[in-house]
Amino acid sequence: MREHRLQYGQGQQTIRTVAVSELGFAVRPSAATLQLVDLRYADDNESYSVADAAAATIDAVSTTTTAACGRSSAAPSTITLTTVASVSAGRRYLISNATGQSEIVTVTAVNSGPKTVLALSEPQHAYPSGATFLGLEVSGSIAADVANTDDYFDANLAAIWTFTGVEPARVVERVELVRPQPSWATTDDLVRLEPGLTTRNADLASALAQAHFDFALDLRGANLNPYTYNPGELGRGACTYLAAFHALKSREEDNARERATRHLERYRELRLQLIVGRDKPGVVESDKSTGAAMAPDIRSLFSGL
């Protein structure tokens, strides 16, 4: 189940999703609604509906490419469009060619002068001039009184999306109220470790995103909530080394893969130091409701392992 996270105390917020057909392809519905519910209650309980179903917004971007992009093109990640109006960095779009091939493209940068966008990763298929480029995301607003209410820290919130023109027409996604996640590794951290990566911005963003995702999974695997556990400088270093591994692992330059292997080993060392042994300076686990630091836990019994 997909998860959305509301930042506690940050007022009204928007959550986004992408409709997927029963065959597993991303599709653009003709209409959609969003309802927020609390699954601790039966659907006939008055406390079940946190926010009644209301019309959701479907990204209206609809344009075409004016140059080839994707596989076998000179700059596979650069997509040149008829217009970049309303195209936003960080959003997902659907690119399709005349042969029926299509895929999701996440935009990392928009350039209004040459009317180009930069994709987070290279499209897997070839898209000639005239390929369609459509807005794909469905979004809905969550009211401030939900995000600002600490009662919902213990709720089992869920977003119920209903789509028109898509099967399955009803999708349930988890919603969690969290305190803002501590900042981990940044592009500057990664470039300081591997200066040769400075010319590959799309690769940097992708490597950092994957590193944060993997690190969060590893924390969850150690029964640590990444939204209440601040790994401090140890976590920053771990995430940086992991991002460097992802940025180098597929490159052909001399020693690139050897450096990637060393970075991965260093990440594993730092991860082990974080999740096993005595509590570390600057590493704090917080109560999700109050934000206060929690007392050392049983992991301290295993210091020195």
- What pLDDT shows up at residue 178? 83
- What pLDDT shows up at residue 305? 38
- What pLDDT shows up at residue 182? 59
For the chain, the residue count is: 305
d(CA 62, CA 35): 27
- What pLDDT shows up at residue 285? 55
Q: Are residues 76 and 194 in the same domain?
A: no
Residue 117 belongs to domain with CATH number: 2.40.10
Contact assessment for residue 29 and residue 163, using Cβ atoms and an 8 Å cutoff: yes
Domain presence at residue 232: yes
Q: Are residues 69 and 31 in the same domain?
A: no
Domain presence at residue 211: yes
Q: What is the layout of strands, in order, in the sheet containing 62-64?
A: 62-64, 132-135, 92-96, 102-111, 116-119, 78-80
For residue 6, give the 3-state DSSP assignment: strand
Tokens of 98: 């005349």
Domain presence at residue 69: yes
Radius of gyration of the chain (CA): 22
| DSSP count for the chain of H helices, then E strands | 5, 20
Q: Is the peptide bond before 168 cis (omega within 30 degrees of 0)?
A: yes
Q: Are residues 118 and 157 in the same domain?
A: no
- What pLDDT shows up at residue 290? 55
Residue type, 157: L
Tokens of 67: 């140059």
- What pLDDT shows up at residue 226? 80
- What pLDDT shows up at residue 300? 47
d(CA 211, CA 289): 27
Domain presence at residue 283: yes
Q: Are residues 24 and 13 in the same domain?
A: yes
Q: Are residues 31 and 145 in the same domain?
A: yes
Domain presence at residue 293: yes
Domain presence at residue 243: yes
CA angle 269, 271, 277 (to 5 degrees): 90
> What is the domain count for the chain?
3
Q: Are residues 108 and 161 in the same domain?
A: no
Q: Are residues 19 and 143 in the same domain?
A: yes
Sign of CA dihedral 235, 92, 109, 9: negative
Q: Are residues 53 and 167 in the same domain?
A: yes
Domain presence at residue 128: yes
Q: Are residues 149 and 119 in the same domain?
A: no
Q: Which domain holds residue 211?
A: 187-302
Among residues 106, 135, 164, which one ends one of the domains?
135
Q: Are residues 154 and 16 in the same domain?
A: yes
List per-residue pLDDT tens for the chain, 305 residues long: 688 989 888 999 999 999 999 988 999 999 999 999 999 999 999 999 999 999 999 999 999 999 999 998 999 999 999 999 999 999 999 999 999 999 999 999 999 989 999 999 999 999 999 999 999 999 999 999 999 988 898 889 999 999 999 998 999 999 999 876 656 899 899 999 998 887 666 678 889 989 998 998 898 888 888 877 788 889 999 999 999 999 999 888 778 889 999 999 999 999 998 887 556 555 555 555 555 555 555 444 444 43
End-to-end CA gap in the chain = 35
Write the DSSP assignment of 113-171 as a string of letters. TTTEEEESS--SSEE-TT-EEEE--EEEEE-HHHHT-GGGGG--EEEEEEEES-SS-EE
Q: Are residues 205 and 218 in the same domain?
A: yes
d(CA 73, CA 80): 12
- 82, 112, 119 from 116: Cα distances, Å: 9, 7, 10
- Tokens 């940044």 belong to residue: 186
- What pLDDT shows up at residue 225? 80
Domain presence at residue 182: no
Q: Are residues 98 and 72 in the same domain?
A: yes
Residues 6+ apart with CB under 8 A from 93: 59, 61, 87, 104, 105, 106, 107, 133, 134, 135, 136
